[in-house]
């Protein structure tokens, strides 16, 4: 979607413009952090400890999102315009980097408490889904993350809405499993990342107007193309997350935490 009449600014404070993108991102962080803190209290952990863990996870998630975006899209900024590389308020965050750096920061803080880590990483899924949903809406206001043009009568693929729908799917799936299944700790997160990679890699990236690598195929009628950088990384991501899903079930079965693997989804 390219709606040029939409302003990227929600309002101005003097010469400083506040972007819709930033507002949506902050709301997603607050919503995800609130849910994580609410569930975290069930573990009997100190609320102050959980707050510190959450804050550092968010900080490193934002750093990772910007680092991966710059490396994947404009690596020349690092040596030609390093200040530009820091301007996250202008958009340009890679959600894959946010999740990767955020989970790594979470694991470092909780590496001596593996069970606590597995529970908490599961409870990040609603926040991740909310972030995907709201940040993609922010992309509409920033006139970025565009879909390819098609000859199907509707012009350009609404890529931001396709991306937002992935976040909605992750949230619905998470709460459905919470209500009707009893998966082992850690399974919710790794399975969410597994299905996110499938939907993003094989649907979202196919219609997104991104540069192509290795295989340069574009169908102008359908407005699809491959392979993008994300599509190249999709197979190893699926292998890794699939192995982690399997590991959570096997480990829990050995420890007697689950007895019915049929509850997996």
Euclidean distance between CA atoms 29 and 22, whole angstroms: 11
- Check residue 223 and give left, alpha or beta (phi > 0: left; psi -120 to 50: alpha): left
Q: Taking a C-beta distance cutoff of 8 angstroms, is the pair 230, 207 a contact?
A: no
Euclidean distance between CA atoms 2 and 159, whole angstroms: 10
Residues whose CB is less than 8 angstroms from the CB of residue 138 and which lie 6 or more positions away in sequence, other chains included: 19, 20, 21, 22, 23, 24, 25, 91
Residue 136 is assigned to a ligand binding site? yes
Only one residue has tokens 């894959």, namely 96
Structure tokens at 24: 């949506």
Query: Residue 219: enclosing H or E segment and its boundaries?
Result: strand 217-219
Only one residue has tokens 């997996």, namely 264
Residues whose CB is less than 8 angstroms from the CB of residue 38 and which lie 6 or more positions away in sequence, other chains included: none
**DSSP notation for 98-157:** HHHHHHHHHHHHHTT-HHHHHHHHHHTHHHHHHHHHHHHHHHHHHT-SPBPB-SSSS-B-
Half-sphere exposure of 135 (CA within 13 A, CB side): 26
Please give the annotated binding residues, written as ranges: 136
């Amino acid at each position: 979607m390219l709606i040029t009449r939409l302003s990227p600014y929600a309002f101005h404070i003097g010469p400083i413009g506040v972007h819709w993108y930033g507002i949506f991102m902050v709301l997603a962080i607050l919503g995800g952090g609130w849910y994580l803190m609410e569930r975290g209290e069930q573990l009997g952990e100190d609320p102050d400890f959980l707050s510190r863990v959450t804050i550092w996870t968010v900080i490193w998630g934002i750093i990772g999102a910007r680092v991966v975006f710059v490396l994947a899209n404009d690596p020349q900024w690092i040596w030609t315009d390093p200040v530009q590389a820091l301007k996250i308020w202008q958009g340009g965050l890679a959600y894959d980097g946010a999740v990767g750096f955020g989970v790594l920061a979470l694991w470092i803080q909780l590496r001596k408490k593996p069970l606590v880590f597995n529970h908490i990483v599961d409870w990040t899924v609603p926040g991740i889904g909310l972030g995907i949903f709201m940040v993609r809406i922010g992309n509409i206001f920033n006139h970025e993350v565009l879909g390819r043009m098609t000859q199907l009568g509707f012009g350009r693929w609404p890529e931001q809405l396709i991306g937002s729908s992935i976040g909605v799917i992750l949230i619905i799936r998470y709460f459905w499993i919470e209500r009707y299944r009893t998966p082992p700790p850690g399974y919710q997160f790794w399975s969410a990342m597994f299905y996110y990679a499938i939907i993003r890699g094989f649907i979202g990236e196919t219609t997104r107007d991104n540069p192509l690598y290795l295989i340069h195929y574009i169908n102008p009628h359908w407005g699809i193309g491959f392979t993008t950088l994300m599509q190249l990384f999709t197979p190893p991501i699926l292998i890794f997350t699939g192995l982690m899903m399997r590991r959570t079930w096997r480990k829990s079965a050995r420890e007697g935490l689950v007895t019915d693997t049929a509850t997996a989804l």
